Structure 1
Amino acid sequence: MVKLPDHIIKFIRSFEEKGYEIYVVGGAVRNLLLEKPIDNWDFTTNATPEQIQALFPDAFYNNAYGTVTIPKDETIYEVTPYRKESDYTDSRHPDKIAWAKTVEEDLARRDFTINAIAYNGKKNIDPYDGKKHIKEKIIVAVGDPDKRFKEDALRLIRGVRFASQLGFLIEKKTNNSLIRNSQLIKNISWERIRDEFLKILGSDHPSEGVLFLHNTSLLKYILPEVEVCFEIPQKSPKRHHIYDVGTHLIMSLKHCPSTDPITRFATLIHDIGKAKTFHKDEKTELITFYNHEVAGTYQAQEIAKRFRLSNEQKEKLIRLVEHHQFTVSEEITDKAVRRFIKDVGKEYLQDMLDLRTGDRIGSGATPTSWRYELFKKRVVEVQKEPFTVKDLKIDGHDVMEVLKIKPSKQIGDILDELFDQVVEKKIENKREILLGQLINYK
C-alpha cells in the first residue's frame, strides 16, 4: 500500500494511543490507490461517538449514523463507528443501525469493492478484493449485488457514476443486477438522482456514463426523452446524419469540448424534440423534424423542473436547447449575427458554440468547416459593435447637457437615430464622435 500523509498518520495515532482501532475507508483509500486527489477523509473506528468527542472536544455529530465531524486546520475528518445495518424497506435508508464489533463487519455493508478497503498505514483490510478490482478497472458490488441494490437503490446510479468518473467497466454479474433492479431507481428522490447525474456529466467519460445508463435500463427512468430517441432514425436522402437520434446525442456529448455539466446536459438533450416531430415521406423516404427545437424546448423545461435544477441552471439549459438550430452561412448579415447573440445571450455564447461542435462531429461531419470558422470569427467581430442603445458611448444625460433640453421622448429618438448610424457603420461608436453629432440636432 502507499504511504499515508503525515497529518493522517498523526490523526490515526491519536486514536491508537488511547487503545482504539481506526482506519481510513471509502473513497479516500480508493483515490489513494489511484493516486487521485482526496477531498474528504473518512474513517471508521471501534470508538463510540462519545469516546471520539472525548478525544476531540471541538468535534460534533447530529445524525443517526453516529458520524462525528472533526475540523482539522482546513480539512474536515468524518469518523464513523463500525456499524452494521438491517433491512432497507424504503430502498434508501436502513431501518435500524447497530454498532459492529469488527472492521470486517463494517466493510460488508458497503456498496462496491473499490470502496470496501480499510487502511491504517500499517494494516490493509481488503476482504472483497477491492485493490485487485482497482487494478483491473472494474466496478464490482460487495457480496450479492441484488441485495446491495435493493438495500439502497441510489447505488444503481452511483455504480455508473464511479465507472464514468474512473473510466472503469462494470463487472458482468453487477451489470446484470443493475438491469434487473433498474426500476428501483424510482424510489430515489430527484435531488439525489440529479446530483449523481450531474457528476456523470462532469466526469472524464460522460458519454460512456450515459451509455451505461442506457445499457442498464436506468436511462428510461431518468431521461425517457433521450431513451426513446434510440428508436428514431435519421438517415435518409439529402440528410447528413449517419446515426439514429439517440446515438447522435451520445456522440454529440462525447465530442462536446465543454466540461460544464449543464452545457453537456444541453448537448445530450438538444435533439430530443425529434422524437415528437419525426415524419417520413413514404414516396421519397425523406425524414424531417420540422420545429423539433420548439418541441425540444418544452421538453427541456419539463426536464429542468423534474431534475430540480436551480434557476440559473434551468435558464442555461433551456436557452441552449431553444437556440441550437442556428444557421451558419457565409451570407449571414451582421444583423442576423446580432440577433443570434441576443437570443443566445453573451454569457452562453461559448457554450452554444461548444454544443454545435459536438453536434457537428456527433452527426458524422468533420470537426469544423470554413463556414463555421467564418461564423465564429463574425460572432467575435460583431460583439465589438453596440447591440442596443445602452451600448452607445453616450447616454441621455449627455444629450440633455449638450442640447440644453429637459427629459422628453426626443432624447430617446436622438439616441435611436445615432444607434442606427453606428450599426450601419456610418459613424463610429466613439464618445467624441457621438457628442459631435449632437450638434446636428440643435
Structure 2
Amino acid sequence: MNFKIDMPNEVKKALNILCDNGFEAYIAGGCVRDSIIGTVPSDWDITTSALPEEIKSSFKGFRIIETGLKHGTVTVIINNMQLEITTYRIDGEYRDNRRPESVLFTDKISLDLERRDFTINAMAYNGNGLIDLNDGIKDINLKQIKCVGLPDKRFNEDGLRILRAMRFASTLNFMIEENTSKSIHKNKNLLRNISVERIVIEFNKLLTGENFTSVMIEYKDVISVFIPEINEIDIKTWQYTLKLMTNVSNDLVLRLTMLFIQIEKLNTSVPYILKRLKYDKSTIKTVEILMTNYNKNIHPTYVNVKRWLNKLGKENLIYLLKIKIGAMKSLNIDDEAELNKIYETENIMVDIIEQNQCYSLNNMNITGKDLIEIGVREGKEIGLILNVLLNKVIDEEIENNKKILIEYAKDIINNLKVSIDK
C-alpha cells in the first residue's frame, strides 16, 4: 500500500534522532490505525530497536520521564509534546489477566507487533513505508475487529481486551470478527479480574460510539458481568432502552441516564450501582437529578422555566429537555403540540439566559453583605430574606433592582420584628 502518513514535526524529529543514532524507529498502534482510517490521532506512540538506556542517551538535552522504564517506555518531551517511545518487546507470562510479569526486549519489530491485541493496532510506519504483518489494512477495509493470533490467548493475557474490542467496534463502527466474537462470549468472566476503573473507562467510550447499539445487543451477556442488574431486562426492553439512548445524542451523561432509568424500574438502587462502578460524584449527582425529574411536566412560561433553572441549573435543564425529546422519539409519539411545548420551553430558557434574567441567588442584584449593611445579623435570617426576595423576582412581583430589593428587604425585616414582638 503506497501512502504517506502526515506526522507532526515533533514525531518526525524523534524518529530522525533515533535513526541518526543507528536505531530503527516507527510510529505504531492507534496512531497508524487512525491515520489510515482518516481520523486525527489523539497521541503518537513510537516503537524502536533502541534499548531504554539507548533511548535516553539519544535524547540528551531533552526532558525525559522514566515512568515506564520497567516495560521499556521512555517519555520524551519535544516542544511541549509528550512522546512515549518504547523498545520492541516480547511479553512474558500473564498471571493476572492484565499485565505481563516481565518483558523481554528484542531488536525485531515483527516480534513486537505479534504481541499486540488486534490486527488494526498491530501496524508500524515510518518514512520508508508501512509494516503490516497481520493484515491490519485488510481488516480496516473489512471494517472488522480481529485478534492478532489466537483470540483465547489474547484475551487470557489481558481480559480488558474484551471490552477494548467492543469499544473499537462501537467507536469505529466496525463488526467483531466471528472467532474473536466467540472468544469474547466464552471468556467474558475474565473481566472479573479487571479493576472497575479500567472497565468503566472502556465502557464509557463504548457508550458514546456510533455503533454502540449493535454492540450492546450482541454483548449484553458481557456487560452483565459488571452490571449484573441488566440480566433482569428482557431483550425487547433492552432494545427499547438502547433506542432511548440513541435518541438523546452521544452525550455520556444522557446515555447513562437513559440506561439507568430502565434499570431503576427493577427496584434497583441506581446510585448504589454508579458508586459500585466508581463513577465520580458529579456524574452520579447529575444522573440522579435527571432520573428524578425526567417525567415531570415543564410548562413553557417564563416564571415556570425560571423555577426549573433555579432548581436544576442551566446544564441539567438542557439535559432534561433533550431527554424528553428523545423519549418522545423513542415512543414514536407524533404529538406536535407536546413537542412544540418542549421547543418553546427551550426558547424561553435561552431568552432568560441571554437577557441575564434573574432565576437564582447568583444573579440577583442584592447580596448577604447588603442585608448586613441594613442591620441583618443572623445568617439564618439573611438566607430567609434572600430567598423571599428571589421568589418575588422570579414571580415577577418585584424588579431585580438593587434599590427596590433593599426597600423590600427592609419591609421584611420590619415584619419579622413585629412578629417577634408579638
Q: TM-score, normalization: structure 1?
A: 0.80
Structure 1 residues 146-155 or 91-100, which shifts more?
Answer: 91-100
- Is the contact between residue 67 and residue 78 of structure 1 (CA under 8 Å) also seen in structure 2? yes
Quickly say closer, same or farther: Cα 1:414–1:208, change in 2 above 3 A: same
- RMSD, aligned α-carbons: 3.1
1:3 maps to 2:9: no
Once the two structures are superposed, residues 94-149 of structure 1 have per-residue CA deviations (whole angstroms, 9 ceiling, x without a partner) of 12321234111111110000000111221322111001111221111111111111
For residues 385 and 42 of structure 2, the distance between their equivalents in structure 1, rounded to whole angstroms, comes to 58
- Is the contact between residue 113 and residue 122 of structure 2 (CA under 8 Å) also seen in structure 1? yes
Quickly say closer, same or farther: Cα 1:339–1:377, change in 2 above 3 A: same
Partner-residue secondary structure (3-state), 1:41: coil
Out of 400, 409, 416, which is 1:429 matched to? 400
1:154 maps to 2:154: no
- Is the contact between residue 173 and residue 209 of structure 2 (CA under 8 Å) also seen in structure 1? no
For residues 166 and 219 of structure 2, the distance between their equivalents in structure 1, rounded to whole angstroms, comes to 7
Out of 274, 283, 302, which is 2:265 matched to? 274
The 5 Å alignment of 1:74-93 reads 74-93=80-99
For residues 124 and 328 of structure 2, the distance between their equivalents in structure 1, rounded to whole angstroms, comes to 47
Partner-residue secondary structure (3-state), 2:112: helix
- Is the contact between residue 309 and residue 359 of structure 2 (CA under 8 Å) also seen in structure 1? no
Aligned partner of 1:35 in structure 2 is: 38
Quickly say closer, same or farther: Cα 1:197–1:366, change in 2 above 3 A: farther
- Give the letter aligned to residue 401 of structure 2: K
The 5 Å alignment of 1:257-406 reads 257=249, 259-276=250-267, 299-328=269-298, 334=303, 337=305, 340-366=308-334, 369-377=339-347, 379=349, 386-387=358-359, 392-395=364-367, 398=370, 405=375
For residues 410 and 198 of structure 1, the distance between their equivalents in structure 2, rounded to whole angstroms, comes to 45
Shift in Å at residue 89 of structure 1? 1.8
For residues 413 and 103 of structure 1, the distance between their equivalents in structure 2, rounded to whole angstroms, comes to 71
Out of 96, 118, 124, which is 2:130 matched to? 124
Between the aligned residues of both structures, percent identity stands at 30
Quickly say closer, same or farther: Cα 1:370–1:51, change in 2 above 3 A: same
- Give the letter aligned to residue 364 of structure 1: N
Shift in Å at residue 329 of structure 1? 5.6
Quickly say closer, same or farther: Cα 1:273–1:51, change in 2 above 3 A: same
Aligned partner of 1:245 in structure 2 is: 237
Aligned partner of 1:14 in structure 2 is: 17
- Is the contact between residue 323 and residue 344 of structure 1 (CA under 8 Å) also seen in structure 2? no
Partner-residue secondary structure (3-state), 1:218: helix
Quickly say closer, same or farther: Cα 1:314–1:52, change in 2 above 3 A: same
Aligned partner of 1:218 in structure 2 is: 222
1:59 maps to 2:64: yes
For residues 303 and 28 of structure 1, the distance between their equivalents in structure 2, rounded to whole angstroms, comes to 35
Partner-residue secondary structure (3-state), 2:45: strand
For residues 352 and 75 of structure 1, the distance between their equivalents in structure 2, rounded to whole angstroms, comes to 39
For residues 109 and 118 of structure 2, the distance between their equivalents in structure 1, rounded to whole angstroms, comes to 16
Shift in Å at residue 398 of structure 1? 4.8
For residues 249 and 420 of structure 1, the distance between their equivalents in structure 2, rounded to whole angstroms, comes to 38
Structure 1 residues 311-320 or 373-382, which shifts more?
Answer: 373-382
For residues 27 and 415 of structure 1, the distance between their equivalents in structure 2, rounded to whole angstroms, comes to 55
Aligned partner of 2:188 in structure 1 is: 182
For residues 189 and 127 of structure 1, the distance between their equivalents in structure 2, rounded to whole angstroms, comes to 32
- Is the contact between residue 154 and residue 188 of structure 1 (CA under 8 Å) also seen in structure 2? yes
Shift in Å at residue 436 of structure 1? 5.7
How many residues align structurally? 402
- Is the contact between residue 321 and residue 342 of structure 2 (CA under 8 Å) also seen in structure 1? no
Structure 1 residues 146-155 or 70-79, which shifts more?
Answer: 70-79
Shift in Å at residue 417 of structure 1? 6.0
For residues 311 and 357 of structure 1, the distance between their equivalents in structure 2, rounded to whole angstroms, comes to 26
Residue ranges of structure 1 left out of the alignment (5+ in a row): 232-243, 277-294
- Give the letter aligned to residue 223 of structure 1: I
For residues 383 and 124 of structure 2, the distance between their equivalents in structure 1, rounded to whole angstroms, comes to 71
Quickly say closer, same or farther: Cα 1:390–1:91, change in 2 above 3 A: closer
The 5 Å alignment of 1:184-203 reads 184-203=190-209
Partner-residue secondary structure (3-state), 1:60: strand
Shift in Å at residue 272 of structure 1? 1.4
- Give the letter aligned to residue 14 of structure 1: I
Structure 1 residues 154-163 or 73-82, which shifts more?
Answer: 73-82
Quickly say closer, same or farther: Cα 1:367–1:219, change in 2 above 3 A: farther
- Give the letter aligned to residue 61 of structure 1: E
Once the two structures are superposed, residues 173-207 of structure 1 have per-residue CA deviations (whole angstroms, 9 ceiling, x without a partner) of 11111111111111110010011112223334444
For residues 38 and 47 of structure 1, the distance between their equivalents in structure 2, rounded to whole angstroms, comes to 24
Partner-residue secondary structure (3-state), 2:262: coil
Residue ranges of structure 2 left out of the alignment (5+ in a row): 415-422
Structure 1 residues 267-276 or 164-173, which shifts more?
Answer: 267-276
Shift in Å at residue 34 of structure 1? 1.4
For residues 107 and 388 of structure 2, the distance between their equivalents in structure 1, rounded to whole angstroms, comes to 82
- Is the contact between residue 10 and residue 78 of structure 2 (CA under 8 Å) also seen in structure 1? no
The 5 Å alignment of 1:38-49 reads 38-49=41-52
Quickly say closer, same or farther: Cα 1:301–1:17, change in 2 above 3 A: same
For residues 124 and 21 of structure 2, the distance between their equivalents in structure 1, rounded to whole angstroms, comes to 20
For residues 146 and 187 of structure 1, the distance between their equivalents in structure 2, rounded to whole angstroms, comes to 16
- Give the letter aligned to residue 192 of structure 2: K
Quickly say closer, same or farther: Cα 1:109–1:211, change in 2 above 3 A: same
Out of 163, 166, 173, which is 1:167 matched to? 173
Structure 1 residues 94-103 or 178-187, which shifts more?
Answer: 94-103
The 5 Å alignment of 1:85-124 reads 85-124=91-130
Quickly say closer, same or farther: Cα 1:18–1:305, change in 2 above 3 A: same
